[in-house]
Amino acid sequence: MTVSIENLTSRFEQVFTPRQAETLAAVIHDVSAGVAKSSDFTELKAIVQQLADAQRDLAQAQGRTEARMEELAQAQRDLAQAQGRTEARMEELAQAQRDLAQAQGRTEGELRQLAQEVGGLSRSVSYALENEAYRQLPAYLATHHGINLTERMVRTDIGGEEINLFALGERNGAPIVIVGETKLQLDRRRGTRDALERLLDQLEAKVKVVQAAHPEREVVRLLVTHYIRPSLREVATRRNVLIAQSFEW
C-alpha cells in the first residue's frame, strides 16, 4: 500500500519545514511506488537523520539564543531601573542644591541683617563715647595737659569736613583750637596700625581746614578711644596727637 504524498507531507511538517517535508514525502512516495531504488531510500534515511540532527542542533541553538536574548532583555530592564534610580538620585541632588542655595540666601540675608545690627550697635557705642567725651574732656584736658576750654566742646562742620570734637581754648595763655576724632579701640594687633594711620590722615585733613578757618590759633590734635596699645600710642605721639583713653577720665 502506497502512502499518499499529502499524508507523508503532513507527518514530516511536524519536524521539518514545509519545503523539506514536501521533498521527503515525494522521495518516500517514489520509493514505496517502486520508482526509486532501495539504495536511494537508504541514502535518504541517512540524509533524514542528518536533517533531524541539524534540526535538533538548530533548536538547541535557538534555545540558547532565546536564553541569551532573555538575559539581554533582563540586562536592559536592570539598566532601565538603574537609570531610573540614577535620575531619581540626580533629582534629589538637584533639589539638595536648590535647598542649599535657598539656605545660603537666607544665611546671607541674616548675615547682612546682623552686620547692620552690629554696625548700628558700633555707631551707638561710638556716639556714646563721644557724648561721654564732651562731658569729661574739659576736666581731663585741664588736669593732664594744661588746656582750658573757653567754649563748650561740640561736633561741627568746617570747610566741608565733619569735626567730631571741636572746641576753642587756651594753653599757657596762648589761644588754641582742638580738633579731635573718636575711635572705639586700637588694641587689636592685625591691621590696627594701618587703621590708625588712615585715621590720623583723616584727622590731618580736618586740621588743615580748621587751621585755615582759625589761623591765629594753634591746632591741638586729639584722639579719644577706650584703649590704645603702647606701640600705637607712640605712632600717634610722633604725629603730634594727644591721646585720651576713657578709663583715664
pLDDT, residue 119, reads: 60
**Do 114 and 106 contact (CB within 8 A), yes or no?**
no
**b/e sequence 132-150, b meaning 16+ C-beta within 10 Å:** ebeebbbebbeeeeebebe
- Predicted local distance difference test score (pLDDT) of residue 244: 96
| 183, 199 Cβ separation under 8 angstroms | yes
Please list the pLDDT of the chain residue by residue as tens digits (249 residues).
Answer: 556 888 878 887 777 778 777 877 787 777 677 665 666 667 666 776 777 787 787 888 888 988 999 999 999 999 999 999 999 999 998 999 998 999 888 888 888 887 776 566 566 667 788 899 999 999 999 999 999 999 999 999 999 999 999 999 999 999 999 999 999 888 766 567 888 999 999 999 999 999 999 999 999 999 999 999 999 999 999 999 999 999 998
What residues does each domain of the chain span? 127-248
81 φ/ψ angles, rounded to the nearest 5 degrees: -65, -40
Give CATH for domain 127-248.
3.40.1350.10
0.95 exceeded by the pTM? no
